Structure 1
Amino acid sequence: MNNKITRTNPVGVSAPVGNYTHITRIPKGADLFVTSGQIGTDLNGQIPSTFNEQVSHTFTNIKRVLESEQLTSKDIIKVNVWSTEKIDWDFFYAEWDKLFDTAYPAMTIAYIVELGLPEIKIEIEIWAAQM
């Protein structure tokens, strides 16, 4: 039995349209971690006005939350992204790839009208598992 998280894109299903994997398998006995949605605040709790600044801060906050539990991007199994604005995919994937390299988790993205505060433009929730 494989005691590692595995990621696959099954035969018979079209390739992912972005940097994600169709299936992430979590082995029995793994510890599961679920984060609250991370937003683009800086260390002082300030929310930048531009979308891409919020994206950068959001990924920084994700890294810090993971590190607090000794987790790495290899432990991430699922990412949910909510955005109130059109995502600049070149910028987003540049930040995404700094975190994941090519070990992409499963991912869902949704465009919505509003998040918890009017100034929040993007929120990202992380699910992780570790043996």
Structure 2
Amino acid sequence: MNQIIRKNPTTLAAPVGEYSHVTVIPKNSTLYTFSGQIGIDQENRIPESHTKQVENTFKNIKKALESEGLTEQNIIKVNIWSVDEIDWDHFYIVWSEMFPVNPSMTIAYISALGLPEIKIEIEILAAKVD
């Protein structure tokens, strides 16, 4: 095995969203952990809109990946924390532009993040097959 494999075992119910239940990383891969990204823009502003924060967060994830020579194909796990209800129609439009394949994912609604104006934070793990 020399590639990242994503799968949904038939012994589990189908995913309720656009993600994979299992992601397999081959031996001798390099694992990358990224801090949670928030919806801050290039001018260090955090927009009030949850949907705009979602868009900025995905842009920041893409930039973090690029800084290591990685692409969305390298993402193996996504953790999402949101203080507001997610507009899933909007979220999946942005998601589908970001993720050509569906990594493993966890979503949690929480009461607060690091600053009061932050509405969503998304953390990724990535792997590069050596």
Give the TM-score band, short-chain normalised.
over 0.9
Tell me, which stretches of 5 or more residues in structure 2 are unaligned?
Answer: none
SS of residue matched to 2:38: coil
For the pair 1:123 / 2:111, whether they are aligned, the reply is no
Structure 1 consecutive aligned stretches of length 4 or more whose deviation exceeds 2 Å? none
Counterpart position of 2:42: 43
Task: Tell me, in whole angstroms, the C-alpha distance in 1 between the residues paired with 2:62 and 2:11.
Answer: 34
The aligned residue for residue 82 of structure 1 is 81
User: Which consecutive residues of structure 1, in runs of 5 or more, have no partner in the other structure?
Assistant: none
Give per-residue Cα distances to partners, 1:20-39, cap 9 Å, x unaligned. 00000000110000100000
CA distance in 2, matches of 1:29, 1:45: 37
Aligned partners of 2:22 and 2:40: how far apart in 1?
31
TM-score normalized with structure 2 length:
0.98
| AA partner of residue 114 (structure 2) | G
Normalising by structure 1, we get a TM-score of 0.97
RMSD: 0.5
Other structure's SS at 1:56 match: helix
The one-letter code of the counterpart of 1:24 is T
Q: Number of paired residues?
A: 129
